[in-house]
Chains A and B, each alone.
Chain A
Amino acid sequence: MTDRTGRNPKDLAFERASALFAFAVLALTVLLFAVLLRESMPAIRKFGAQFLVSGTWDPVLDQYGALPFLYGTLVSSFLAILIAVPLSVGAAIFIVEFAPEWLKKPVSFLAELLAAIPSVIYGLWGIFVMVPVLRDFLMKPAAKHLGWIPFFKGPVYGPSVLAAGWLLSIMIVPFILSVSREVLATVPQRQKEAVLSLGGTRWEMIRIVIGQHCIPGIFGATVLGLGRALGETMAVTMVIGNRPEVFLSLFQQGYSMAAVIANEFAEAGGLQLSSLILIGLLLFLVTFAVNLAAKWILKKMVARASRGI
């Protein structure tokens, strides 16, 4: 504050301008929230908290509830994380630690290229290639032999929560992979050498280095992937089966919040429209909550990691 008088006026103008942009972003978020809230008021007034726990979605009787969509979004996204994190982190370790020089560039380039494919292409590929393969080689045998586990109960049709999670995992791999790779690359060479010089194996080196240094970064990458999975619309709606019901079995159909908005928005009116906007508001809040929780966990992790070193 005290040095303001001595400032170059151009500096000051730049500072003001950048502050304006920062506030514009903030204002945009607030405005978005306000509009969603205003437009969803009729549905909030009609259904109240019931909206969160009701599993009915009936446009004919004008009865709406968000539970199947919340469930479908969360389950498919966490499934995606479950598959994508080991895959991406494993690939990142290989690229940073083991891959010969000539292989590093092409592998990371191709992996990152996955991020540039439009989601509708993923969806089409999902319908025509992934779903039949998953159905015949994974879901059918699993339902036959492990059908007594509620998660793997048949009947198996193909489009399902599992298919959605699987497709999402492929879509978020490039995000988690590239951030994990960057994080791994920041480990000081000396630390690695220190572990090796103390007689550690390569595996011990990686385990210690990742444990000490990279977990927070990889966690951050995971949250980035999760954020993308939660909001993904087109690809999910093409393979999830679009059935607004809560099934325990991953082989059954589901529905996601983004998918129902995309599907029904164009022809909706009245209470149905308001309910769809309320689902949008919930999606906004879910993403917000996930990010907030992630920030908090990250802070704890960083604190612990720095104590450990």
Chain B
Amino acid sequence: MKRKFGALTAVLAAIALSFAGAPPALAADPLMINGAGATFPYPLYSKWFYEYSNANPGVRFNYQSIGSGGGIKQVTAGTVDFGATDAPMTEEELGKLPGAILHIPTAIGAVVIVYNLDKVESGLKLTPDVLAGIYLGKITRWNDTKIAELNKTVTLPNADIVVSHRSDGSGTTDIFTNYLTTVNTEWRAKVGRGKSVNWPVGLGGKGNEGVAGVVKQTPGAIGYVELAYAKQNKMKVASLRNKDGNFVAPTLEATSAAAAGVAKSMPADFRVSLVDAPGKDAWPISGLTWLLVYKEQKDASKGKALVQFLKWAVKDGQKMEAALDYAALPKAVAEKVDQALRQITHGGKSLY
């Protein structure tokens, strides 16, 4: 017994020594900025934090991708320095905040329609009403005349449409149902919009991978996933008729075009929906993702570091988006966001 303890003490001492011997550079505490929220932009934010901390060793970030709802809860409770969300905060949620908050758009996400039809290539044409009809359970066969007349050159199989959707609460579902609510009155009346809704038909899959799993494994299936997910998994995607009447394939450019379409009418607080956006090349199921930052910062040095990071993110950071399959903010929007960062203060003084 004694011998054992002796060995244990030696190990502990060795561990303690190894800490004591750490290089002094680490001893100078870097500023730790904590954030939590949306999972969709997590790969982008990780890349940003990594690159930014490399260039600015004094600042480090800790981001927990717990979901948009969680991010709003955490930032409301004040347990994190910033939050992140895919759905803008509602008036009710804003009312619960201890102070004014800024929605800072960082990237644009797109939700795309994927399907599993053996003999049909990518680019099947759909209209908003047909898509809503499928998800309402009114169009149930692939060779339905409503689909066939949009795709005259394609031979559609005489098969059941197997509808698939997310089963977990998610920003992706919020954007998708927001779109259907915007473009289809019957959907608005019967189902509505939300992070999870009461689906009239279909199979639920957990996460993008769950929906993709159902679509890949089930002949005749249709589903919706994030653009990046569909691209990386080489899934067949549908083209959709947008507000201007053009059939558009989901690409990063088409997604950015959706934000450009609303750039002129962008509200000062950036809480805007991009679904069914105007513009001849705009992909209609797009949405911004935001960082949530209090206008009045409690800690001067943290606030200053955060503002510097945000300035970097809307400028240099935007160049990293395409490589990770995110659509960058259009220039006009990015400049507007940069201006808005001047509103972040400590003790009433701008930290810009």
Contact = CB atoms under 8 A, between A and B. Distances in A.
Interface of A: 56-61, 127-128, 131-132, 155, 157-159, 237-238, 241-244, 253, 255, 259, 262-264, 266-269
A264 B195 CA distance: 9
A159 B214 CA distance: 8
10 contacts: A61-B192, A127-B214, A158-B218, A237-B206, A238-B213, A242-B204, A243-B202, A266-B70, A267-B67, A267-B168
B69 A269 contact: yes
Residue in B167, B202, B210 with the greatest tally of chain A CB atoms within 10 Å: B167
Nearest to A265: B169
Contacts of B70: 266-267
A164 to B, nearest CB: 12
Given A158-B218, A253-B203, A267-B69, 12 more contacts: A56-B198, A60-B198, A157-B203, A158-B217, A159-B203, A237-B206, A263-B168, A263-B196, A264-B168, A266-B66, A267-B170, A267-B195
Contacts of A259: 167
Nearest to B73: A269
Interface of B: 66-70, 73, 160, 162, 167-170, 191-199, 202-206, 210, 213-214, 217-218
Given A59-B195, A263-B168, A268-B169, A242 B205 contact: yes
A267 B192 contact: no
Residue in B66, B162, B169 with the greatest tally of chain A CB atoms within 10 Å: B169
A237 B167 contact: yes
A58 to B, nearest CB: 4
A59 B196 contact: yes
Contact of B196 (A127, A238, A267): A267
Contacts of A238: 205-206, 210, 213
Contacts of B214: 127, 158-159
B191 A60 contact: yes
A4 B157 CA distance: 84
Nearest to B210: A238
B159 to A, nearest CB: 11
Contact of B198 (A57, A127, A267): A57
B197 A58 contact: yes
Given A61-B192, A131-B217, A266 B168 contact: yes
Nearest to A158: B218
Contacts of A127: 213-214, 217
A228 B205 CA distance: 22
Contacts of B168: 262-264, 266-267
B96 to A, nearest CB: 11
B218 A157 contact: yes
Contact of A60 (B68, B162, B192, B210): B192
Contacts of B203: 157, 159, 241-243, 253
Residue in B66, B68, B69 with the greatest tally of chain A CB atoms within 10 Å: B69
B235 to A, nearest CB: 15
Contacts of B69: 266-269
A57 B169 CA distance: 13
Contacts of A157: 162, 203, 218
Residue in B67, B168, B170, B194 with the greatest tally of chain A CB atoms within 10 Å: B168
A61 B198 contact: yes
Contacts of B162: 157
A243 B198 CA distance: 9
Per CB-CB distance, the 5 closest pairs between chain A and chain B, nearest first, are A242-B204, A267-B169, A242-B167, A58-B198, A60-B192
B221 to A, nearest CB: 8
B169 A263 contact: yes
A263 B67 CA distance: 12
A4 to B, nearest CB: 31
Nearest to B214: A159
Contacts of B198: 56-61, 244
